[in-house]
Amino acid sequence: MGKAGRGMTPAKVFVPTERIERAILVIRGQKVMLDADLAELYGVETKMLNRAVRRNLARFPEDFMFQLTNEEVEALRFQFGTSNGRGGRRYLPYAFTEQGVAMLSSVLRSERAVRVNVEIMRAFVRLRRLAISYEDLARKIDELEKKHEAHDRQLQAVFEAIRQLMTPVEPTRREIGFQPEE
């Protein structure tokens, strides 16, 4: 009989969706989460999370995880107004892609890690759906603009034809009477 069957229910882990979505950043053109944010969500210290990752480096190829450069860290500090790092980290942070985050649950092996990972995966899916919706909306707007331009050209041609019809034609009148040839 499992733990739940003996009257013990696993503690419910609640991580606000907004908190997860705010932690998802775009770095090097990829949606990623930083090690410190993940450690906070999993309820472990950042150094413990990174230690577990280092012990399982074969599970984290470059497309799952990469270390930020000094320039990227400075850009993040500037963007988010974080501290200059004195008294904090002594190494550059790691960024985990969606696949890397999924792999973390197998490395951390705690119930909390599994539950948090489920919520993180859902957040990635929601963001992907939003991105698709925005792309679809942008495509529809582009189509409308193209149709509008085509209609504008057609309307301009119609208006030009109407203007030409409205322009009075100068009649070529001949004067009455005898006109000597010169």
- Specify if 144 maps to a domain: no
Judge whether 58 and 40 are in contact, CB under 8 Å. no
Full domain range(s) for residue 54:
15-133
Q: At what angle do helices 35-42 and 111-166 cross, to 10 degrees?
A: 130
| Whole-Å CA distances, 22 to 31, 54, 61, 94, 129 | 11, 26, 25, 17, 16
- Specify if 150 maps to a domain: no
- Specify if 127 maps to a domain: yes
| Number of folded domains that form the chain | 1
- Specify if 128 maps to a domain: yes
* 94-128: pLDDT as tens digits: 999 999 998 887 888 777 877 888 888 888 888 88
- Specify if 85 maps to a domain: yes
CATH code, domain carrying 95: 3.10.260
- Specify if 112 maps to a domain: yes
* 23-79: pLDDT as tens digits: 889 999 999 999 999 999 888 899 999 999 999 999 999 999 999 999 999 888 877
- Specify if 24 maps to a domain: yes
